[in-house]
Amino acid sequence: MAAMFAASASLKKAVALINELDINRFPLLLSKILQKLHVQEERTFSEEEEEKLQSAFSMSSSDLELVLQTLEFILQQAAYHTAKPAVLGDQLRQLDLHEDKVNKIVEAWTAGARDLVQKLRERTVHPNQLEDVQWRLNLQVAQSTQTKMKLTNAFFQFGVRNEDTKKKENIRLEFTHEELYKFYNQLETIQKQLDSLS
């Protein structure tokens, strides 16, 4: 397996900081990160919790942030690669992480991997999801200034639900024949690309 982690200067610094963490408190830190890793746009720890962690680990705010980001990155990479525990352990040892920390990360990964990977698979890239589509056609054959005309329009109403807020809104669109045909061709192109990925 290719290396999951590129040994950058910040990663090396983070590893040195992680190696100094209290091994008794370390599993709780990993457990909380694993629980929150799938949640988008939400911090793993509140400001108050981060202050307590700074005190518990005798660490500056910037060092704690680096440690938390690095542990999240390690677990995200493990999830992305669906890494086997032994492989994850080997990859962490290559970063010069102490054996006790490697073991705790691998234990946390082994306990939480299945649940985390499942939640990440269910997570959507965008919270707005199409729920329903309504449409109608309109044919205008005359207006006050013109008696003979033939103007066709299609009206769509897309019911969209935001998965984060659970609110639903209706988006209304109007297409001329040419606009609808162009939109249809774009959908066909998207469908072909999706089919090629399956």
Tens-digit pLDDT profile for residues 127-136: 778 889 999 9
Residue with tokens 């990479």: 77
Contact indicator for 174, 141 with CB cutoff of 8 Å: no
Q: What is the pTM of this model?
A: 0.61
**Chain centre to alpha carbon of residue 77:** 12
What's the pLDDT score for residue 156?
Answer: 93
Q: Is residue 42 part of a domain?
A: yes
Which of 122, 137, 158 is the last residue in one of the domains?
A: 122
Count structural domains, the chain. Answer: 2
**Same domain membership, residue 49 and residue 103:** yes
Q: Is residue 3 part of a domain?
A: no
**Same domain membership, residue 113 and residue 180:** no
The H-or-E segment that residue 49 falls in is: helix 47-57
Q: Provide the domain limits for residue 166.
A: 128-197
Which of 86, 104, 122 is the last residue in one of the domains?
A: 122
**Same domain membership, residue 172 and residue 132:** yes
Tens-digit pLDDT profile for residues 161-174: 887 677 899 999 99
Which of 95, 122, 149 is the last residue in one of the domains?
A: 122
The H-or-E segment that residue 133 falls in is: strand 128-140
**Same domain membership, residue 22 and residue 57:** yes
Q: Is residue 54 part of a domain?
A: yes
